[in-house]
Amino acid sequence: MPEYKKMIVAGTAGDIVYTDFFSGVKGNYLRPSIVAAGMDPDALGVPGAGSRSLEFLNSGEAKAWRDIRGAGHGIGVVTEIGPTAAVVDRLAAEYERARERLAALG
């Protein structure tokens, strides 16, 4: 899990690969996780076609269900790893400040 978190913090929208290769349903996957699994994100092809197919991936040490990580295009705004409680506290404080500013407007 620490590597996944690091990928998220270091990632940008350009690190998102939109493909149906891993599940048969289109999804957003992290390019670095695909590379770490020994695959070329730009040459995934069709599941079941050739030596770099999904079957190939799942027959080795890398497993699609475990090693290919997902993320959305909002990845670029993630800048640090921290406890969930700190994020919730920050969001609550930002919300309260916004409410106060709106109330002051009238």
DSSP secondary structure string, the chain?
Answer: -HHHHHHHHH--GGGEEEESTTTSS-EEEEHHHHHHTT--GGG--STTSSTTSHHHHHHSS--HHHH--B--GGGGG------HHHHHHHHHHHHHHHHHHHHHH-
Count Cβ atoms within 10 A of the Cβ of residue 53 and give its class: 0-12 exposed, 13-18 middle, 19 or more buried.
middle
- pLDDT at res. 33: 94
pLDDT digits (tens, 9 = 90+) for 57-86: 666 677 777 889 999 989 999 988 989 999
**pLDDT exceeding 90 applies to what percent of the chain?**
50
